[in-house]
Chains A and B, each alone.
Chain A
Amino acid sequence: MKTMRRSTFALASVAVLPLALAGCTEKSTASTDDITVTASDETCDVSADSGTTGNSTFQVTNNGSKVTEFYVYAEGDRAMGEVENIGPGLTRQLIVSLPEAGTYQLACKPGMVGNGIRQEFTVTGDSMSASDESGQLAEAADGYRRYIRSQVVALQDTTQQFVDAVKSGNIEQAKALFPVSRTYYERIEPEAESFGELDPKLDLREADLEPGQEWTGFHRLEKDLWVTGPQPDTNAIADQLVVDVQYLADQVNAEDYTIDPTKIAGDAQGLLDEISTSKITGEEDIFSHTDLWDFQANVDGSQAAVAALQPIIEERNPELAANITQRFADLDAELAQYRQGDGFVFYDTVNEQQRQELSRKIDALSADVSQVQGVVAGA
């Protein structure tokens, strides 16, 4: 990371009401109303294609060999709920609130790639959503908070796997898990940056160190894995990473963790700025060259933040909403060229001209995303 403080103007007097209907993932016993989702590397079988307004519960089982994700999208790919990082053989539950009648989309993403395997899900019944402005903003904030929390769950899981591989001396596996675990961090980095010294502990690059400063976190382990080989304190650094990620989880899962709706747009912009400043140049993952994983994660996170605001943008500036959707699609298509297996090619194989093209797509998208805050604030 390069620390960036993008301060966002808080909107005066917007009450953010936590909605009672929050999507959450937990392990609980399935009831008869539950919808089962059976995922494999090529399929996504869902036991129902319709439901009623209010809460729906999905039991998602991954029978494939790749890690998968399951999403429920409203129009414009606004994630109403998601469960990440479902490893082979695991079952996860997703309770999602769908307050409006309409056509939603369900998606399994084997290998966590692309648009996923999709199908429609029709919801009927009376509207249960807030129609007033502050209600809309509260819903956006709530949706984004849900996204943050779901990413942190996955971050904890994958970080633990990564750390286990490091500590057992399984260098190859650790190298493979490094960019995967970072993905969940990079998607929500601006939020993590709001917790004081946490971000430097987790994500400081060697180039950011001050004299005498202790270097911990992902990039320190990156150097151990790719450059120096394990050091006497590698395991201690790995343990510290788990502790620091746990601290992040405690913060975002706290009862009083709220998100200012105007800050969501700031996060969306901040994530794109992250790419422009340190990912495009290859400075972020200078030892491993796994920058493209981070790049995609920043884009995903930015898109999720914008999507949380989508109904508001749609309503107030439909042209901007359409532009942003198109620009995200352009950027995703550009990135897709560099996919390899479940991940990406290494960034040192991406030449100057290709980086330039990525950078141009980012600039184009950023110019539009920079307008979102004003739309949300009603400027």
Chain B
Amino acid sequence: MTDPTGSTDTTTTVDERKGMSRRRLFGAVGAGAALAGAGALVGRATAAEPPLTHGDVVAFRGEHQAGVVTPAQDRMHFVAFDVTTKSREELEALLKKWTVMAERMTAGEQATPDGAIGDGLYVPPSDTGEALGLAASQLTLTIGFGPSLFDDRFGFASKKPAALEELPHFRADNLDPARSGGDIAIQACANDPQVAVHAIRNLARVAFGTASVRWSQLGFGRTSSTSTTQDTPRNLFGFKDGTNNIKAEETDVVDENVWVASGDDQAWMGGGTYLVARRIRMLIEQWDRTVLGEQERVIGRSKGSGAPLSGKAEFDELDLDSKKGHDPVIDVDAHVRLASAQELGGIQILRRGYNFTDGSDGFGHLDAGLFFIAYCRNPQEQFVPMQLNLSRSDAMNEYIQHVGSALFACPPGLAEGQHWGQGLFT
């Protein structure tokens, strides 16, 4: 895989039979040795790089944050925090601490040197231990800051980007405040769910007194491909999702639609992006009682191949004008039509969502759906018009309900010596 956007996606391929286990890595680096930056472990990518394996390390530092155009991993644990302290210094100290831990964990190390068992019998271990012996699993940790962080508490008001305006109410939104918003978000993605959960758990536990978990979401089964090396996965409606998604390899498209340019808005956001999270409950019981023809009409694609109804193969161009008799082949309110760049004057977003199933709702229905994540250069100009269009007339609305919503500004990647959120404090 070539690496067009800097070193975000440089990876180290290790012995595939063993992966880079936390224990083995620990042995290799030596007890208590500080990791001398990701560069110590992670080589620069070369054009002839082999495809990623499950055990790989994704570089933590680079021009952009990892976890955006990184080929989507299989699992996600997403968390939103409320900052509970009123002290700017405490907040900065936490972000520094988090950075150190995040860099260690993405490299497949324990959150703290030998923290699981090396602190002695009389203190709670500083690493919770459940990832001991597990590979790095391409763990990425991506941080974002919500609009609420830019109030008068920490003196960030003048740093607030215009694009970080709260999202408007969309038709039929049924948002639970307890699953929405947040001052800070961290997206953990990995190929092993235990690795993702371990990362979030350890970051959350050192935050007590400074920040507190507001909501969190586990996701399984990526619902979008973000690289041409990946097959298109299926969402819980059973349809291929993300066929027309932006792919990491399309660097011009990524630069145009995903990364904030240095002159766009606030200087600290240059090279960053905006994360829109929507917890979309799928009314799967109703969907599962819907005949195949209707399912395909609602989506606008064939369920088997993923081809648009106007075409034959998955990646055939959407032909929104093709007719069958007097009627359009792709229905006027089909999901793919309303979400298409053609229909939206060229708007595109990078989707990176995950399926979820969180138990059941007491009515004999699964609480399941899509944890939608989109990365875009300006949510007000990309996500908002798209969602206004979809919420107004998407045939799919009959089968979904948006129950959680959040927006975060994700700063650019870190250079050596920098820490998360540094741009806010300077």
Binding site for B on A (CB under 8 A): 9, 262, 327, 360, 363-368, 370-371, 373-374, 376-377, 379
Contact = CB atoms under 8 A, between A and B. Distances in A.
B84 A262 contact: no
Interface residues of B, number: 13
A370 B205 CA distance: 12
A364 B208 contact: yes
Contacts of A373: 122-123
Contacts of B119: 374, 379
Interface in B118-150: 119-124
Contacts of B210: 364
A59 B284 CA distance: 74
A229 B19 CA distance: 66
B212 interface: yes
B209 interface: yes
Contact of A327 (B120, B123, B206, B209): B209
26 contacts: A9-B121, A9-B122, A262-B122, A327-B209, A360-B84, A363-B208, A363-B209, A363-B212, A364-B84, A364-B210, A366-B208, A367-B205, A367-B206, A368-B209, A370-B123, A371-B123, A371-B124, A373-B122, A374-B119, A374-B122, A374-B123, A377-B120, A377-B121, A377-B122, A379-B121, A379-B123
Interface in B99-122: 119-122
Contacts of A327: 209
Nearest to A359: B212
A70 to B, nearest CB: 33
Contacts of A374: 119-120, 122-123
Nearest to A327: B209
Nearest to B206: A367
Contacts of A377: 120-122
Most buried by B among A365, A367, A373, A377: A367
Contact of B209 (A367, A371, A379): A367
Interface of B: 84, 119-124, 205-206, 208-210, 212
Contacts of A360: 84, 212
B208 A367 contact: yes
Contacts of A379: 119-123
A312 to B, nearest CB: 13
B390 to A, nearest CB: 32
The 9 A-B pairs of least Cβ separation, nearest first, read A364-B209, A374-B123, A377-B122, A367-B208, A379-B120, A379-B122, A374-B122, A363-B208, A360-B212
A264 to B, nearest CB: 13
Nearest to B124: A370
Nearest to A371: B123
A367 B121 CA distance: 17
B115 to A, nearest CB: 13
B209 to A, nearest CB: 3
Contacts of B121: 9, 377, 379
A363 B206 CA distance: 10
B139 to A, nearest CB: 24
Contacts of B123: 370-371, 373-374, 379
A79 to B, nearest CB: 25
Given A364-B84, A366-B208, A379-B123, 5 more contacts: A365-B209, A370-B123, A374-B122, A379-B119, A379-B120
A262 B205 CA distance: 23
Nearest to B212: A360
Contacts of B84: 360, 364
A327 B90 CA distance: 14
Nearest to A367: B208
Contacts of A262: 122
Contacts of A371: 123-124
Nearest to B84: A360
A377 B205 CA distance: 23
Contacts of B212: 360, 363
A371 B124 CA distance: 7
A370 B206 CA distance: 12
A364 B124 CA distance: 15
A184 to B, nearest CB: 29
A141 B210 CA distance: 32
Contacts of B124: 370-371
Nearest to A352: B178
Nearest to A373: B122
A262 B123 CA distance: 11
Best-surrounded residue of B122, B124, B205, B208 (most CB of chain A within 10 A): B122
B374 to A, nearest CB: 29
Contacts of B209: 327, 363-365, 367-368
A314 B205 CA distance: 24
A373 B212 CA distance: 24
Nearest to A269: B124
Nearest to A374: B123
A327 B210 CA distance: 11
Contacts of A366: 208
Contacts of B205: 367
A236 B206 CA distance: 49
A124 B84 CA distance: 44
A86 B84 CA distance: 39
A7 to B, nearest CB: 11
Contacts of A9: 121-122
Contacts of A367: 205-206, 208-209
A364 B83 CA distance: 12
A223 B127 CA distance: 43
A364 B211 CA distance: 9
Nearest to A357: B84
B304 to A, nearest CB: 46
A376 B209 CA distance: 22
Contacts of B208: 363-364, 366-367
Nearest to B123: A374
A363 to B, nearest CB: 4
A365 B210 CA distance: 11
Nearest to A377: B122
Nearest to B177: A353
A275 to B, nearest CB: 14
Nearest to B122: A377
Nearest to B85: A364
A153 B321 CA distance: 87
B34 to A, nearest CB: 22
Nearest to A326: B209
A9 B205 CA distance: 23
B117 to A, nearest CB: 13
A373 B120 CA distance: 11
A182 B124 CA distance: 30
